[in-house]
């Protein structure tokens, strides 16, 4: 027990150990301080050791160099005492618990087990067998624990003297080692003497040598007078050899035929020797020494024939082999000889494998192989210092399989053979197909084959790991395992990183280290990480994926700068937000991913594209996040992902060319445009749908859906009127991007008309962005919008403008031949109009009493480009020019389609009004004619003659006898009732009771046709009023001439004859100026009470001097609502007609 616990327990019990003396005894490793301490310690030691040490202390001073070496301190197998005691306490506690459980499991005494409840133990000792057994077990257990603790107590006592005990142990060990040297020296001497026996040479016989050299005979050497053998002639020798050949052939063919082993079936007999040849192993020569077939064969020669040939056997080895072969032939015949020679050859082959392994270890496989020779086997550990999988070793074992049966006996039909066992990463490979040539031995070739299979296994495992990932199952990337078993170490794994760039993974044949070939600076780091994994076949897939992501990100960054793309590896979103996007697909594709963010220069700041790269598959995402200004608002909460959608971009042929970025720009911009449009349609609650359709304007790899909207939603304010001229559904197709600054989106909408005959007047381009194809009856609207803006608003306005254009054209068509369109575009419609009567009979001349000249058509230009509505422009001199504002109001009203018809039907009236205004007065009193346009269908003609005499006539359309006619009726002056003045008499006489071509008097007024009659009726009315003014003027002139003297100067005579036209105009202008000044001084109340106010833009009255228009425009004010009612009534009447 003391020997088992040879240790320094005192170090844990307050007693300092001397095992850390640091060489103080000899004074070799200490400093000055330690030397002083050592001298003091030496005094104590000297005092304790007695006279010898004291003598040394009192003797001469000993130098440090003369001191002996320090004793070797025994520190092996030292266990701290506290650990020993704690372990013993744990053992005691556990053993006590086990003992209690065993005692509890033992059976009870017989009387208690039978259920005797009245049993009461007596004071006598319980001597039942069960109780005695428990007492015996408990006593043995306590005795064992007592023994252990007593030993611990002894060790504890010894530990109090640990210093002295340690020194005693060191001295004891030192003395034992010195005594061992004596025994070793003695045995070395014995061994040397035994080895010298082979080198022992007898003393030379110089005397005999001299005699032999001097004389041919030596007289003192004995001569036995033996008779010499007769010489054998060649004939006799041939006869004997032939006889032996005959005996061998007869014996092998008859006696030994059934006993010849199968490997010895190939033999030949020549020169008295039977040569048995085993291919790939050996050739042995045997012969016979007797003609008796029962006698054995005898060994002649042995040749090993495998490659490389082994060295020749030494004489001693040859003698040993010959003896053993002859013994085997004598015991078991040819079978015994074959078994021995076969085992000998296999052992020689194992030796050759071993020899070559050691040569490889010393050569090019240095530091990569470890060779261990076993009994009849050799173990070769390859990849001894590989950087990865250090805990798992790989080796092969070449040995001999005895082919013994289940009973342990050799099977004669299946001789022993060399077998190969392969341990790959610490696990034996059971089923493997590695053929190695034992006839042509090559350890180098065998190692290359095995290691090549190991490389194939590791790369195949990595390939299977990668191939099972969704990225490769969906054919999103190339993954190829290349190599051939004919070329060792030729296996490589190629994985696509980008386009035609691959990363090639290989393994070094000698060291087992992974090698990476990739055009990336990160390949070195990836190779280092791959060589540090414990299981690179499983963990290497992630390293390759990280390398691919890094390479792709670097390539995108370097390529995108030149084509105005911004690429960054930093994400504006958090990892959780990105996971919510990337992991929105199926759970099978949830792999660790990396992202690269992209943005086209010119995009809105909230739109991004990012590519998520992982073994689950590469995915392109279009993400919209709130504007950075909105995110920085105080109180802004919630996720920062406003919208995201997946972009079906193909990544297996990802080529970072200009075409790729152009396609990416088209695709992303088109998706942004469609998302913006769909969002706009949703906000306006307009029905829409998307469908896949072929888009020949985009590359074949870009698939953009077509958005369909309803025409009725675009023309919601029109009710169902828009459904009559085009089909209901309108496709909106994305056509591309216009590379302007800012970027613009191009889309195209197509409207197919239902009746192409209605659009025969349209040819080609309706506008620069609107085209009509008359062959298929289809409008093509090209829409251009800025990035981030919707084209739905533009499309709605275009369709509404097109609808208005079509209604205008239809209105022009309904107006008949009097209206002819000149040009029709979406921006402008130009048409001409004239009288419908003249249009029907252009050769007809107007009546002579109307004094009309042939009328030319008037041109009207409708500008449809204004945001506030349609602008109407009339050419100079158009009779309708005075009501241009009302015409514009009508063009922008719901009844704008009645405008062409109204212009045709009202042209005679306005032409007559124009003539009335332009007509000058005669020699009578000056006449001022003012035309007040209170609406499109309400005209008031006012004649002012002399001082204060005025006549006002209203012209309005009214229905008479089912016909719509212009009705003329006098209007009473302000504050006056019915009057019966000279105007009334003339009107009643010449107009109200008269009639003409197309007009007729009605006693209180007159009615004239819309097309024919109104011009003549207004002319007759003007002639009648002017006749009153002319008659009054002539009467006044006669009175003035009677008051003049008979003889006057010529100038005075000329003045009395009457005013010239210039004088009349000046006088009339002066009177109008005076009247206007009086009107300015009138109170506002009188102005409002005078009648309905006149719009300023419609006061187009013009007097004879041309000053009336400006004066009437100064009156201001007007009730547009009332005037519009009259205009609407006229329009409705025209529609009914």
Question: Per the domain annotation, does 509 fall within a domain?
Answer: yes
pLDDT score of 357? 95
Domain count along the chain = 7
pLDDT score of 824? 83
Task: Tell me, yes or no, whether 15 and 62 share the same domain.
Answer: no
Task: Tell me, yes or no, whether 397 and 468 share the same domain.
Answer: no
Q: Which of 438-447, 598-607, 694-703, 1052-1061 has the lowest mean pLDDT?
A: 1052-1061
pLDDT score of 848? 43
Q: Which of 336-340, 518-522, 1087-1091 has the lowest mean pLDDT?
A: 1087-1091
For strands 369-373 and 378-382, give the pairing.
antiparallel
Task: Tell me, yes or no, whether 962 and 1086 share the same domain.
Answer: yes
Among positive and negative, which fits the CA dihedral 605, 606, 607, 608? positive
Task: Tell me, yes or no, whether 789 and 690 share the same domain.
Answer: yes
The CA-atom distances, in angstroms, between 961 and each of 565, 581, 964, 965 are 78, 78, 8, 10
Banded model confidence at residue 445, pLDDT cuts 50, 70, 90: very high
- For the cut 80, the answer to whether the pLDDT of residue 557 exceeds it is yes
Task: Tell me, yes or no, whether 645 and 721 share the same domain.
Answer: no
Higher pLDDT, 390 or 833: 833
pLDDT in tens, 137-166: 999 999 999 999 999 999 898 888 888 888
Task: Tell me, yes or no, whether 477 and 428 share the same domain.
Answer: no
Question: Per the domain annotation, does 463 fall within a domain?
Answer: yes
Task: Tell me, yes or no, whether 790 and 710 share the same domain.
Answer: yes
Question: Per the domain annotation, does 738 fall within a domain?
Answer: yes
- For the cut 80, the answer to whether the pLDDT of residue 253 exceeds it is yes
Last residue of a domain, one of 340, 367, 384: 340
The Cα 677–Cα 681 span in angstroms is: 6
Query: Residue 134 phi/psi, 5° resolution?
Result: -65, -40
Cα–Cα nearest to 953, from 966, 962, 965, 963: 966
Question: Per the domain annotation, does 864 fall within a domain?
Answer: no
pLDDT in tens, 941-961: 998 887 678 889 999 999 888
Per the DSSP assignment, residues forming a β-bridge with 964 are: 959
The Cα 1103–Cα 1117 span in angstroms is: 21
Average pLDDT over all residues of the chain: 79
Tell the residue number behind the tokens 């991007």, with chain if given. 737
For strands 828-833 and 819-824, give the pairing.
antiparallel
Query: Residue 233 phi/psi, 5° resolution?
Result: -80, 160
Question: Per the domain annotation, does 863 fall within a domain?
Answer: no
Question: Per the domain annotation, does 611 fall within a domain?
Answer: yes
The CA-atom distances, in angstroms, between 199 and each of 196, 318, 782 are 5, 21, 115
Task: Tell me, yes or no, whether 381 and 312 share the same domain.
Answer: no
The Cα 487–Cα 556 span in angstroms is: 38
Last residue of a domain, one of 300, 322, 340: 340
Cβ-contact 381, 394 below 8 angstroms? yes
Cα 146 to its chain centre, rounded Å, is 75
Question: Per the domain annotation, does 797 fall within a domain?
Answer: yes
pLDDT in tens, 912-947: 998 888 876 554 567 888 899 988 889 999 988 876
Last residue of a domain, one of 311, 340, 369: 340
Question: Per the domain annotation, does 431 fall within a domain?
Answer: yes
- For the cut 50, the answer to whether the pLDDT of residue 855 exceeds it is yes
Task: Tell me, yes or no, whether 278 and 423 share the same domain.
Answer: no
Task: Tell me, yes or no, whether 376 and 297 share the same domain.
Answer: no
Model-wide pTM > 0.85:
no
Residue-number span of the structural domain to which 48 is assigned: 22-69
Q: What is the mean pLDDT of residues 201-207?
A: 82
Radius of gyration of the chain (CA): 66
CA-based diameter of the chain, in Å?
Answer: 224
Exposure string for 456-487, b = 16+ CB within 10 A, e = fewer: bbbbbbbbebbeebbbbeeebbebebebeeee
DSSP string, 464-486: HHHHTSHHHHTT-S-EEEE--TT
Among positive and negative, which fits the CA dihedral 1070, 1073, 1074, 1075? positive
- For the cut 60, the answer to whether the pLDDT of residue 853 exceeds it is no
Task: Tell me, yes or no, whether 1 and 55 share the same domain.
Answer: no
Higher pLDDT, 762 or 619: 619
For residue 492, the SS3 value is strand
Taking the alpha carbons at both ends of the chain, their separation in whole angstroms is: 138
pLDDT score of 378? 95
Task: Tell me, yes or no, whether 316 and 461 share the same domain.
Answer: no
Other Cβ atoms within 10 Å of 884 Cβ, number: 16
Banded model confidence at residue 281, pLDDT cuts 50, 70, 90: very high
């Amino acid at each position: 027990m003391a020997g088992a616990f040879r240790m320094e327990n005192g170090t844990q019990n307050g007693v300092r150990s001397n095992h850390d003396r640091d060489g103080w005894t000899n004074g070799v490793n200490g400093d000055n301080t330690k030397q002083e301490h050592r001298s003091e310690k030496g005094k104590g030691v000297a005092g304790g050791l007695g006279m010898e040490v004291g003598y040394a202390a009192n003797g001469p001073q000993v130098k440090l160099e003369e001191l002996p070496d320090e004793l070797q301190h025994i520190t092996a197998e030292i266990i701290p005492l506290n650990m020993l005691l704690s372990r013993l306490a744990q053992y005691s506690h556990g053993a006590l618990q086990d003992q209690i459980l065993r005692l509890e499991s033992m059976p009870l005494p017989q009387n208690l087990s039978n259920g005797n409840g009245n049993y009461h133990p007596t004071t006598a000792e319980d001597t039942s067998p069960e109780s005695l057994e428990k007492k015996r077990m408990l006593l043995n257990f306590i005795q064992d624990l007592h023994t252990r603790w007593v030993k611990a107590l002894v060790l504890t006592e010894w530990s109090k003297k640990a210093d002295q005990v340690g020194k005693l142990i060191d001295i004891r060990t030192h003395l034992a080692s010195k005594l061992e040297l004596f025994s070793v020296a003695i045995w070395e001497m014995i061994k040397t003497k035994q080895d010298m026996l082979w080198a022992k040479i007898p003393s030379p016989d110089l005397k005999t040598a001299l005699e032999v050299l001097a004389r041919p005979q030596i007289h003192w050497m004995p001569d036995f007078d033996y008779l010499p053998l007769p010489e054998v002639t060649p004939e006799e020798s041939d006869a004997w050899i032939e006889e032996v050949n005959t005996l061998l052939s007869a014996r092998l063919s008859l006696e030994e035929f059934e006993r010849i082993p199968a490997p010895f079936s190939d033999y030949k007999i020549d020169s008295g020797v039977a040569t048995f040849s085993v291919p790939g192993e050996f050739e042995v020569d045997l012969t016979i020494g007797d003609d008796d077939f029962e006698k054995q064969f005898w060994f002649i020669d042995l040749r090993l024939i495998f490659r490389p040939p082994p060295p020749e056997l030494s004489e001693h080895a040859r003698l040993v082999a010959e003896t053993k072969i002859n013994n085997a032939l004598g015991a078991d015949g040819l079978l015994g000889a074959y078994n021995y020679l076969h085992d000998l050859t296999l052992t020689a082959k194992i030796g050759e494998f071993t020899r070559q392994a050691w040569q490889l270890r010393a050569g090019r496989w240095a530091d990569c192989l470890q060779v261990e020779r076993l009994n009849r086997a050799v173990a070769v550990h390859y990849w001894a210092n590989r950087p990865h999988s250090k805990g798992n070793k790989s080796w092969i074992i070449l040995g001999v399989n005895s082919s013994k049966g289940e009973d342990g006996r050799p099977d004669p039909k299946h001789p022993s053979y060399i077998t190969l066992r392969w341990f790959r990463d610490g696990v034996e490979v059971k089923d493997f197909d590695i053929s190695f040539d034992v006839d042509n031995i090559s350890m180098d070739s065998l190692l290359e084959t095995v290691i090549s299979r190991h490389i194939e296994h590791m790369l195949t495992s990595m390939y299977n790991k990668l191939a099972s990932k969704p990225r490769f199952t969906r054919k999103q990337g190339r993954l190829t395992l290349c190599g051939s078993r004919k070329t060792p170490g030729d296996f490589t794994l190629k994985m696509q990183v980008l386009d035609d760039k691959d990363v090639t993974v290989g393994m070094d044949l000698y060291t087992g280290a992974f090698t990476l070939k990739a055009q990336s600076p990160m390949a070195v780091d990836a190779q280092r990480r791959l060589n540090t994994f414990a299981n690179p076949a499983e963990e290497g897939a992630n390293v390759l994926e990280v390398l691919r992501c890094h390479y792709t990100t670097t390539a995108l960054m370097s390529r995108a700068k030149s084509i105005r793309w911004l690429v960054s590896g930093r994400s504006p979103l958090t990892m959780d937000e990105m996971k919510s996007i990337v992991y929105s697909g199926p759970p099978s594709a949830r792999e660790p991913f990396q992202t690269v963010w992209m943005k086209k220069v010119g995009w809105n700041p909230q739109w991004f594209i990012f590519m998520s790269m992982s073994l689950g598959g590469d995915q392109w995402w279009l993400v919209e996040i709130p504007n950075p200004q909105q995110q920085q608002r105080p109180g802004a909460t919630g996720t920062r992902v406003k919208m995201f959608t997946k972009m079906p971009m193909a990544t297996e042929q990802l080529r970072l060319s200009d075409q790729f970025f152009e396609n990416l720009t088209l695709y992303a911009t088109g998706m942004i445009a469609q998302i913006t449009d769909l969002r706009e349609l949703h906000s306006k609650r307009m029905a829409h749908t998307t469908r896949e359709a072929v888009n020949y304007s985009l590359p074949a790899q870009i698939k953009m859906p077509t958005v369909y909207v309803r025409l009725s939603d675009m023309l919601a304010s029109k009710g169902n009127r828009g459904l009559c001229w085009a089909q209901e559904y309108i496709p909106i197709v994305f056509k591309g991007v216009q590379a302007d600054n800012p970027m613009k989106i191009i889309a195209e909408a197509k409207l197919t008309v239902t009746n192409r005959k209605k659009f025969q007047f349209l040819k080609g381009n309706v506008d620069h962005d609107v085209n009509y194809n008359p062959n298929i009856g289809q409008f093509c609207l090209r829409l251009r919008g800025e990035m981030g803006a919707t084209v739905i608003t533009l499309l709605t306005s275009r369709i509404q403008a097109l609808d208005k254009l079509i209604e205008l054209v239809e209105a022009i068509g309904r107006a008949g031949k009097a209206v002819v369109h000149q040009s029709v575009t979406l921006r402008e419609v130009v048409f001409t109009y004239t009288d419908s009567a003249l249009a029907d009979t252009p050769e007809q001349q107007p009546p002579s009493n109307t004094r009309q000249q042939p009328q030319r058509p008037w041109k009207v230009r409708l500008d449809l480009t204004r945001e506030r509505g349609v602008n109407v422009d009339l050419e100079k001199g158009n009779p309708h020019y005075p009501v241009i504002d009302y015409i514009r109001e009508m063009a922008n009203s719901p009844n704008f389609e009645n405008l062409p018809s109204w212009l045709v039907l009202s042209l005679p009236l306005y032409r007559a009004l124009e003539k009335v205004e332009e007509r000058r007065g005669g020699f009578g009193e000056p006449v001022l004619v003012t035309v007040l346009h209170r609406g499109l269908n309400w005209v008031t003609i006012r004649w002012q003659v002399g001082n204060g005499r005025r006549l006002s006539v209203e012209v309005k359309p009214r229905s008479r006898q089912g016909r719509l006619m212009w009705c003329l009726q006098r209007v009473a002056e302000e504050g006056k009732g019915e009057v019966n003045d000279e105007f009334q008499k003339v009107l009643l006489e010449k107009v109200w009771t008269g009639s003409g071509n197309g007009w007729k008097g009605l006693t209180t007024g007159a009615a004239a046709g819309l097309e024919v009659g109104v011009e003549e009726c207004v002319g007759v009315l003007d002639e009648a009023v002017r006749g009153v003014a002319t008659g009054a003027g002539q009467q006044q002139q006669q009175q003035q001439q009677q008051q003049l003297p008979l003889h006057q100067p010529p100038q005075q005579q000329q003045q009395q004859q009457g005013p010239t036209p210039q004088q009349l105009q000046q006088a009339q202008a002066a009177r109008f100026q005076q009247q206007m000044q009086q009107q300015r001084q009138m109170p506002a109340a009188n102005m409002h009470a005078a009648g309905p106010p006149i719009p300023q833009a419609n006061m187009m009255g013009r007097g004879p001097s041309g000053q009336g228009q400006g004066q009437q425009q100064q009156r201001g004010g007007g009730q547009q609502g009332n005037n519009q009612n009259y205009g609407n009534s006229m329009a409705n009447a025209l529609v009914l007609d």
